[in-house]
Structure 1
Amino acid sequence: MERLKVTLEDEYSAVEASIHVGRYALALPFAAGRRVLDIACGEGYGSWLMAQAGAASVRGIDVADDAVARARATFSDPRISFDTGQGETLAETFPEASFDLVVSIETIEHVQDPVRFLEAIRRVAAPDAIIILTCPNDHWYYPPHESNPYHLRKFTLPEFQALTRGVLGDAVQWMIGSAALGFAAVPLAADPDGPADGLPRIVHVETMEASLRVPSSAVAPAPETCSYFVGVWNAPGRVAGAGAVHALSMDAYAAMMAAYPQGAAAAPAPSADASPKERVLGAALQRENEIMAARIREYADQEAELRDRIRECAEQEADLRARLDALTHERDALTHERDDLLPAALRWRGMVERVRRLSPTTAKLAAGWLRRRGPDQGH
């Protein structure tokens, strides 16, 4: 979407809101107390957000009269003013060193003379002003011989870097912008049914207490596969990044995650005349296929190992059963032997008791006779 409409009558899209507000999120921490210039302000939502972040003043300019009119009608605030103007003629509109923060969200691809545009930014910016420029990665969105009909040129990251550094200098931090996926905790009533203050939902934003960026997986964005490029000049410290997110139900998340591997598995190889976007998507899907194939091989190896262990356990069980059978047979044999010997032993004990009751002389003779006979010959 080239220009986002943000009136109360227009349908709200959380995806489009995060795309557009995410660009401005990078500027909000620097807005407090500064004089801000918002170049190509569109319908004014970014200017409003920077004013709410504490800007001393915000001047929004745009080439479209209708966008400026809607910005004035929707975002009326004594700190904000909106005017129609060209980026290349900023120096004719504002005095030198008028701004402490200059924000240009994807404007450079529209202007007739990018160098003149950047020189105008340099003149209206204070010597230590923070300058934030973004540029779309149209090489991802369009095939080599096609382009956005609203853009006058397509930039690669090296081209964007060389052009802007040549005018604005080397005190810059480079970033890339892209889609993000993750999880966040949001208040239970984070999304009311509708705005109560008469403002479009796109500016109903909340600063999250903490957001952490974890390392990306095999499909992490790169300059060739990102959505846009960012340069931040004269920032007082390291810029860690910023963005805008919208909460998603787990039902929708599960459906999205379930559909993606199916698309990756079924995706055909890109043809030779495929666009860079198609080739990048094909490469990303191929990487996902490789990851899934590696996992399948890993699971197959684990299954084979488990089957081997099951066979070993079965063999050990058979050996233990054989040993148990042998011990049982030995126990039964000993039991039979005991049962055979028990009557003779009882008879022997009885004879011994009777001998004890005889006179000593007779007992001595009987004992000798019993010793000679043994227990098995007694009656």
Structure 2
Amino acid sequence: MALYAELHRHLGGSVVPRVLWRYFQRSDADLAGRFPEYAEFEEFYTKPRNTLDEYLELHTMVEGVQTSQTLPYFIYRLIRGAYIFENLAYLELRYTPFLRTSDKLSQTERIDRMAEIVDIVGIASQVKEYPIVTSQILCMHSRLPYEVNKAIVDLAAQKRQYVCAIDLAGGDAHYADRLDEFIELYAYARSLGLNTTGHLYETTEGCYPELLPYLMRIGHGIQIPLQYPELLGELASSGACLEVCPTTYLKTGNLQDIRQLKVVFDRCFAAGVDIAICTDNAGLHNVRLPFEYENLLTYDIIGFEELQACQNAAFRHAFAWPYEQPPALLLNGLFQTATPDLADVDLPELELVHLQETRH
């Protein structure tokens, strides 16, 4: 039964190790030769890295094989796993479309091909046997030129049937020299009526308060409650939501112990700042969303009440969820409508008592 919303998942990091390894075995002789056995590939692909930049290098391995021809293959398996194993009712996939085009083309030609990529992802995400509400977030990138990033914003505005927001990715430590440029692009996106999120305050080097007024959600944002809790009141007033991805911070070396997140959750709850719990790169981590929930509970970082609040916040802040309520409440309404009141059913008295006791 699909119940959950995933607001922060990268297309490049969403492919689980087994699916990616099988693809290499069938289609990429070089990588198949490098990793002839699955166990060694899984160990390489999912092991922690020392820094965020080192971690992000893994995306290039997947971006190179996620082409217009192969994207439907990967997305079908992604949607199937999300529905069957994660109970997802809603999924936002984020990626940089420019990086799914051939590097043999000119920059102008690659920009022109981005619309085709968005269409392919949009169509491939609609899998009838696994009904999940899906949408795309297009990522500007800290290492792409202004012209490409502006074209990504324009494309998001043109493809609203598939795209719900824009993002900025590529490692938040790399924004400083181009901060005015990114502020301009976010202001432009807001002027077009686009929703916005951004990788920000993930690392101690990626803290830019100048960008906060332009963001409706913050990708990660954990350094705000950890290092700058005075900003939480401003976030609460603006209604911003943090997209917290617990396993990521252990894989990138940003945190040494998952229990350090207790401060993040406690301070956000106290200040009235919403948190959506996410996976970020479920494939790179070999971790699914319910496991993120379980981990937080196991380590006493949050309780069940706080977990429910985060799950509800995810639907409340979902850019393309088409209903006013999360699916659990919608299902409750359906069950209440479908189940007759036993007092109105003409049953022998003893049988009625038995059914009432069974229900309670």
TM-score by length of 2: 0.29
Structure with bigger gyration radius = 1
| Greater fraction helix | 2
